Every structure is written in structure tokens, then in C-alpha cells.
Amino acid sequence: MMERIKQIWVQLEANNPAMPGLFKVRYSDTSKCDIFLGVKFPETHRMLILKVPLTIGKEFNFRYEFRGLKFDKIYDPDDSKSVLLNLVLVDKQFKDVFDTLVTDILSAVISESDLKLILKNYSNRLIKWQSLFERFKHQGLTQEEQRGLYGELFFLRKFLQINSDFQNVVTSWIGAEKQIRDFQFGKWSVEVKTTHGNNHQKIHISSERQLDTRNLDNLYINHLSLDVRQQSGETLNQVADAVMEILIKDFTALSKFRNKLIEAGFYDIHRPLYSEIGYFIRQELFYRVENNFPRIDERDIRAGVGDVKYSIVVSQCSDYISTEESVFQTLKFE
């Protein structure tokens, strides 16, 4: 789907007319969903266009604002009984994100025939993506965020190499969605922690709930001790590309992964910012959080105390080390 979208943009932009106007192509000839890709000239603004009956289009309002995009609706010049709901890319630095947004919306509506459901899915996707566009940072991820994402992708790649259920493996990566832990499915969870430089001896816990084992059969910490180098080691771009290479034959899993990368703040436009810093793994260990593992439990905190952050001295966790093999044997999708 993504490749077809890119091909359609190229075809539309090749028109380059002398007069202002809108060129559009219906995405699917067989779908009952009247959705188009378009390019407005002379601005060459890319557009996702949803055609709806006039009576419904008049009532449809989307009040959210997007950085780099705008939403408008116009009467269809080719059909007086219809309105075009237009999502317009006005800032080209967001074009890669826009392609992913368009892919996500299309996947949510293209197979539907009920107009109310189409509009509901369309609106829900826009609400979700509005928050992602707001989190866009011109300077890219901070160095700490880069290390954290590298750690999560390092674990994800290993998980995909061990388990061929790609869609569930990618689904289990919830750290991109800013959840309490990085990976979770059913009754198990994994939290990935990276340390570097002079801080190898401590890992930082972001909340009193992060190591809470209630409602879980297994909770693990995957600790990566990193060496950070200039022009050496594996870059964030490279580990992201390695995951995509594994998923290349599973479109659904690959599309979901690309969406999650954007949710994590990884945009293609920022790739040059991540090309010079590489990582070496000094040490990798897994710990099972159970019994007297050093941690703060939510139940131990007095009423009124919240937003608890603390660190754990890694040397005090040696009794809880688990082998990589035993960890992955428990990470099942049942």
C-alpha cells in the first residue's frame, strides 16, 4: 500500500499544469469507499480526499489542528450532491509522516461500505495522528531518547529472529506508545533499560508501577550496557532498517512497525541526525522481577505520594539473573 501511494504521488505531480487546479485519483476502483489521493497545483500540496454526500459532509466537522497539515472541505466540482473532505499536506518536511498517516487511514476505511463507520474510523485515525504530529521535534530525538529506542529495537530484532509470529511480536512493542513498560502481551512483560558511560551500575525506574508484578506471570528487565561511539558501531538507523528487513514479507507487521516508529518519535527526515552515533553492547543481562527484587512497590507508598522515580544498583540484582533462552521461552502469544 505504501509503495502504491508513493507511485500515485509521482504520477499526479508529473502533471504540472499551466493553470491552477486539483488532480485526483480514486485509490480503489472496487472499494465502496470514495477516497482519493490528490495534488493541488501550483502549490503541489498532496491531499487525501474523502468524498461524502452533501447532507453528511455539511455536518462533518474536525476541529483538531495538525502541524504541517490542514483540514478543509469543499463542494465537489464534478458532483453537486457531494462534498470533499480534504486532508492537505502544506509543509513538505512532513511528507514521509503524511504517507504513513495516509496508509493508516486507508487501511482503516478502504474495506468498509457503511458510510457512518467510514467516517468514524476516519475521525478516530485523525485524532490519534494529531497527537503524533504535535510531538514532532525539529531537532529529532534527544540522545537519551535515541539510546532508549535503540535498546527497544535491539530487543525487538532479537525477538523477531526467535519468534516467527511477527504481527504479535510487533504488537507487543508498546513502549512506542509511551506505555508503562516496553513490551507486554497477556501475562508477561519486558522492560528494556540502557546505560552508558559512567552510569553502568544503575538503571532508572520511571514510576512506582513499572516493576509492579500484579496481574503478571513474568516480568523481566533487559539491561543493555552500551558503549557510545562516533562513526563506529551500529546506528539507530541501522537497527531500525534491520527490523524492517526482517518484516519485509509481512506487510501488516511492517506497516504496524512503521507506525510505531513514528509514535516513538523516529521520523525519516531526522535520519541524518542519527547516522554518526553508533552503539556497541558491552554487556547484556536479563533479570526476572520477583520476590525481593530491589524495587518500590506501589502498595508500599503512602497515600498522596505519586510520580515516584528511583534507581536500582545493578550489582544487587545478581540473584535474579535469567538466561536469554529461558526468558524467550516464556514470551508466548496464547
Confidence class of residue 137 from pLDDT cuts 50, 70 and 90? Answer: low
CA pair distance 98, 90, nearest whole angstrom: 10
Lowest-confidence pick of 40-54, 190-204, 235-249, 279-293: 190-204
Closest of 26, 17, 79 to residue 48, by C-alpha:
26
Total length of the chain: 334
Average pLDDT for 42-58: 90
Average pLDDT for 82-103: 87
Does the pLDDT of residue 73 top 90, yes or no?
no
pLDDT at residue 192, as a whole number: 97
Does the pLDDT of residue 82 top 70, yes or no?
yes
What number of CA atoms fall less than 13 Å from residue 114's CA on the CB side?
4
- The alpha-helical segments, DSSP class H, found in the chain are 2-13, 54-59, 95-109, 115-134, 143-162, 166-172, 236-246, 251-263, 324-330
User: What sign does the CA torsion over 266, 271, 277, 281 have?
Assistant: positive
Does the pLDDT of residue 236 top 90, yes or no?
yes
Q: What is the pLDDT of residues 254-294, one digit of tens each?
A: 988 988 998 898 988 789 999 999 999 999 999 999 999 99
Does the pLDDT of residue 334 top 90, yes or no?
no
Confidence class of residue 136 from pLDDT cuts 50, 70 and 90? Answer: low
Contact 135, 262 (CB under 8 A): no
Share of the chain above pLDDT 90, in %: 51
Average pLDDT for 223-242: 96
Average pLDDT for 188-202: 87
| The Cα angle at residue 272 between residues 271 and 275, in degrees rounded to 5 | 90
Average pLDDT for 190-198: 91
Confidence class of residue 148 from pLDDT cuts 50, 70 and 90? Answer: very high
Contact 240, 152 (CB under 8 A): no
Confidence class of residue 128 from pLDDT cuts 50, 70 and 90? Answer: confident
Does the pLDDT of residue 71 top 90, yes or no?
no
pLDDT at residue 234, as a whole number: 98
In this prediction the pTM is: 0.75
Domain boundaries, the chain: 2-134, 143-330
What is the C-alpha end-to-end distance of the chain, expressed in Å?
Answer: 30
pLDDT at residue 199, as a whole number: 61
Average pLDDT for 196-214: 85
pLDDT at residue 68, as a whole number: 81
Does the pLDDT of residue 200 top 70, yes or no?
no
